[in-house]
Amino acid sequence: MTFIGKTLILGGVRSGKSRLAERLARAHGGPVTVVATATAGDDGELAARIAAHRARRPAHWAVVEEPLALAAALRAADGPGRCLLVDCLTLWLTNLLLCEDAARLAAERDALLDTLPGLAAEVLLVANETGLGVVPANALARRFCDEAGLLHQALAERCGRVVLTVAGLPHILKGEPL
């Protein structure tokens, strides 16, 4: 089942996927809520990336920081005429893989997939496309690639538009042009 108001934006690191999502959110015209999934902890480099994303966003956009319960955050921010921008699914998946509750990943993934069709808002989902290169050498990295690939396939099936961003250039894989 495909939902036209849902867009999955995939790309590699620094491919321009977040900037594209932000551009689409600006063009939406309605209220925007960013659901940010990153947590920097003591990682100074990640903290700098988070700060750069914050600085780029318009001050009037609402921001919800939610590293795990993404479906619940989307339901809470939902509404007709709204735009929900999730940045990013990759960090959300990482947070869940590192969670002490091993069953939480499946529960939260299923909740997202079940919640997405019922959302009234336009939804922009940002994620790093993985698995385009060498198979990772360790079990956690392989599991991450497997989980990300399965999640992206399930979301691509449910989204009305899927975009692959390379070098700042969007390539439509499914749906209407931008």
Q: Which residues are catalytic?
A: 53
Calpha distance 170→17 (Å, rounded): 8
Going by DSSP bridges, is the β-strand pair 169-174/159-166 parallel, antiparallel, or unpaired? antiparallel
Q: What is the DSSP letter of 136?
A: P
Distance between CA atoms of residues 123 and 152, nearest Å? 15
Round to whole Å and give the CA distance between 4 and 176: 9
Residue partners of 99: CB distance under 8 A and separation at least 6: 68, 105
Identify any residues that bridge with 164 across adjacent strands, giving them in sequence order: 10, 171
**Do residues 156 and 131 make contact, with C-beta atoms less than 8 angstroms apart?**
no
Question: Contact at 8 Å (CB) between 91 and 38?
Answer: yes
